[in-house]
Structure 1
């Protein structure tokens, strides 16, 4: 009985977002019923609404009709796996990257990633940002061996080929009516944080992204700085660290094990 019930529930769930060609006769009998049609349409609309809410910049760029048509295809192929729809769409970027009608919109998957990063930052755990004054008092030798963790709400990405952040910010705010031809067409990065109550977004260069990547991997500041300089030997590391501290992108720190116990 339990196995039969489980099979029916799985088939019923699949039928909500699938075509009417369902093999299970028990489910097939319900598909033609008006109540099932209403329920299925409601579920589909709820998922599409969630995607539109989670990816407002994408929707603004392509228009509501285009977006909802694409979202319906994505929902059918990749329905929510979590009842908290704020988290829905973690694979929407990949969907857009392979979506034929979006082929000419080369920046669109990156814009989707930034929308997703905004959502992730919004619901991330709280943490106290790293105290810049405390860090400034550290001796240089100890400072080099500190392992500094990115803030739980910090998200960053480097887009090598397109000005994704500028496009995203232009269409995330009221600047969307300004001409797009004043955007410099080159790679750029983005940092999204929520050190306190509100989500913040800022440009971040490639050394900054490399620095945060290294911090996320648990490397000490000296090694993180080295990773940043590999992307640009002329990078101003002091200014970079200051900007990350000001943005609240860093939190707790510990001494790297290689430093502990030395005299």
Structure 2
């Protein structure tokens, strides 16, 4: 009986009329206030997780979209910090957003910021840790907060120009210019860094657990002008690795 009631309660909260009739003498009309509260909570959670998307489309458009998403994708956990993992994919097929192709990648970067913010703390690999090491056959492990992105369009520029703390008059066009971005939190603050193609290839190779020698060869093959030693030194300075293995 308790499980049946809980299922009926959940259905009533999410909009199914009549499910609580056996327990409510006056029907479940009073559930409207609870439905509104639950819907608002889910929409507010999505606005907190995707602030750049909200800024781009405005609060009214975002709230309407968030309510539709929440009705189709109810949370599977009471922890709303984890909610909305499917929102970027959903936006890509949400008809009112089809004319705004930058929204799904912007949502991915918002989600990446949240993941970097909540990821586990870890030590940071420094140049001193490399002293006396033979590096060709070892792997450099990315810091657990690292979130990597590469797009064929100017999605990172749009994301950076529309963050909550960005200048409101900075306009960026959506054009077919490849851009890379990495987010990380080596200390208390989430940091961003634009990436060249060579830098992204290097970090992606490390993400795929390739040895540094193999990573360097792969980068040199696609970007023959890249200075691999300087590149690795710059990424170390950016504190994007946690250890060698």
Length-normalised TM-score, structure 1? 0.84
Please tell me whether the aligned partners of residues 87 and 120 of structure 1 are also in contact (alpha carbons under 8 angstroms): no
* Aligned counterpart, 2:138: 146
- Provide the rounded CA distance (Å) in 1 between the counterparts of 2:217 and 2:144: 23
Secondary structure, aligned partner of 2:150: strand
* Aligned counterpart, 2:6: 9
The reply on whether 1:165 has 2:156 as its aligned counterpart is yes
Say if 1:211 and 1:82 are closer, same or farther in 2 by CA, change over 3 A: farther
Structure 1 residue 195: deviation in Å?
A: 0.4
Length-normalised TM-score, structure 2? 0.90
The reply on whether 1:133 has 2:137 as its aligned counterpart is no
Say if 1:212 and 1:71 are closer, same or farther in 2 by CA, change over 3 A: same
| Cα deviation 1:176-225 (Å, max 9, x = unaligned) | 312335x7641211100000111001111333333222222221111222
Equivalences for 1:9-158 in 2 at 5 Å? 9-17=6-14, 19-21=15-17, 26=22, 32-34=28-30, 36-135=31-130, 137-139=131-133, 142-158=134-150
Structure 2: tracts of 5 or more residues without a match: none
| Cα deviation 1:7-52 (Å, max 9, x = unaligned) | 33123223322x3356675489787332x22112111101100100
The reply on whether 1:203 has 2:194 as its aligned counterpart is yes
Q: CA RMSD in A?
A: 2.2
Q: Post-superposition, which runs of at least 4 consecutive aligned residues in structure 1 deviate over 6 A?
A: 27-31
- Provide the rounded CA distance (Å) in 2 between the counterparts of 1:149 and 1:221: 10
Match for residue 174 of structure 1 among 153, 166, 175: 166
Please tell me whether the aligned partners of residues 17 and 28 of structure 2 are also in contact (alpha carbons under 8 angstroms): no
- Provide the rounded CA distance (Å) in 2 between the counterparts of 1:202 and 1:243: 11
* Aligned counterpart, 1:260: none
- Provide the rounded CA distance (Å) in 1 between the counterparts of 2:191 and 2:73: 29
Say if 1:252 and 1:28 are closer, same or farther in 2 by CA, change over 3 A: farther
| Cα deviation 1:126-147 (Å, max 9, x = unaligned) | 0111012332x235xx211111
Secondary structure, aligned partner of 2:124: coil
Structure 1: tracts of 5 or more residues without a match: 255-263
- Provide the rounded CA distance (Å) in 2 between the counterparts of 1:47 and 1:231: 44
